[in-house]
Every structure is written in C-alpha cells, then in structure tokens.
Amino acid sequence: MVRIPAVVITTPSSDRGVPLIDILRKSSLFETIELKATMGRDLDDASECDKQDEMKSYGRILIANERACAVSHSKARSIIAQSSHGGIIFEDDARILNLTQLELITQKFLERNKNRRSVLSLLNYDSQKSRKINSTSITTIRLIPLLAEAPLAVATVQTNRAAAELATKAKSSSQVADWPKSSTRFFFLNKPLVNHGDSNTNSVIGLINERIELKREKLTNFSELQILLLKLRRKIDLLLIQIFQENWKR
C-alpha cells in the first residue's frame, strides 16, 4: 500500500499539535511528517514591492505572522508536490473527528483527481459553527465543488499538481497563507471530518475576522472589483451548500 504524506505544520515550543499527531500515527495509510512552522518574528519585513502587491490583492498590508504562515504552507505544499499522488496538510490545531472516514475520503479524492489541480477542505464550510455541527445523522459523505477557494487552509487534501501550482504561485509575491491566486479547483464535504481547534487552542496569527476586510486602505477600482467578486462567489457557495444540504435531508 502506498502511504500518503500527512504534513503537520507545528508551532515551535508548543504541544498543541500532540492530539493531532497521536491520531495520525495510528493510521497505516498516512505517513506523518512534522514541519516546524515559520514564525513572523523570524522574517525580515516585506519589500515595498510585496507590500504594493498585497494592497492590490487584499486591500491591506499583511502582518508578519500572515506572511510567515504563507511560508509554512508553501514548504508543506512543496512536500506534497513531490508525492506521486498528493497528500494532506494540517495546521497543528486541526482535530480529526473520524480517522477511518478520513482515510477513505482521502484515498478516493486523490484517486479521482490524480491528474487535476484539486483541493478538498475537510472542515465545515462555516468555521464559526465547526465545533457545534451535529453531523452524526449524515451517513453518506458527498463532495461539493466551490466557486471560490475554501475558507481556510487548516486541513486540506491536495493533489500533487495543486500543491505544486500553489507553492509556485506563492513565490511570485507576498501572499496570505491560505490560497495564492491559481487555477486550482476547490471542494468541500457535506460532513466535516476535521474541526478547527478545541477549547485549548487559539489562533497564532491573532486575527479572527475575515482577513481580506481588515485594515482596509484606499484601493484601486480594479482591486475593489476583485474583492467584491470574491465575496460574491463565497456568498453563492454558501447558498448552494445550504440548498444541497436541505435536499440531502429529504
């Protein structure tokens, strides 16, 4: 059996990744790879060119921890890109809900998308409700394609082609960690298999609101349009998800 790499981005001098790693090590499918996270304090300040690109793309200057998170994810994606199939990338506050189902879904997704640039989010789409979701009544797990990117990159299955493209795109400019602009196609599950954090974890980045809307400054008309289109795609995604889930209950 070909083992699938499961990269865990771990926070230095912290045990917050222990629950996740302990579960992954019980799997005969996943090969657990611990990757020490790059921290904002370890980075030089972004260049003026990168800051201008951030303003054009996101409407604000990113903070050091966001840039460091981007570096960490790019390193993780470079590992997945070298795999013959692809793999999973976890941030260390990801909490697996069902290891058996995770193994099955990961294998199926990578097999069906082996020649594509595809990413599957393992979280509930609305991260604020991920700890309250009651999905015990859902017996059939389904994939839903998204128009926009997945809301977060906390726990995702990535094909090797998707990981390679995302890692390459992130090198061209300063980017937020979650998703550099690319041709990657995103999917999510009607039943989350991973929660974002637990009662003992907090964000290392320190931002809890939607990052693209924070610290806004004067934007060009083109940048405003990009942000509006992204928000519109996200709203449509959420609406379609709600429609799908209502139909599946019947």
Question: Where along the chain do its domains lie?
Answer: 4-249
pLDDT in tens, 133-180: 445 555 688 888 998 888 889 999 999 999 999 998 887 656 666 788
Mean pLDDT of 78-97: 96
164-169 CB contacts, 8 Å cutoff, 24+ apart: 164/77, 164/78, 164/81, 165/117, 166/73, 166/74, 166/77, 166/119, 167/74, 167/77, 167/78, 167/81
Look at residue 43 and tell me whether its pLDDT is greater than 80: yes
Predicted local confidence at residue 99, as pLDDT: 97
Tell me what pLDDT residue 12 has: 93
Residue 122 pLDDT class (50, 70, 90 cuts): very high
Decide if 132 contacts 171 (C-beta within 8 A).
Answer: no
pLDDT digits (tens, 9 = 90+) for 207-232: 444 444 444 444 455 556 666 777 78
Query: Do the beta carbons of residue 15 and residue 52 sit within 8 Å?
Result: no
Second-level CATH architecture of 4-249: Alpha-Beta Complex (3.90)
Q: What is the pLDDT of residue 45?
A: 83
Which whole number is the average pLDDT over 71-99? 95
Q: Please report, to the nearest 10 degrees, the dihedral formed by the alpha carbons of residues 246, 89, 172, 213 taken in order.
A: 40
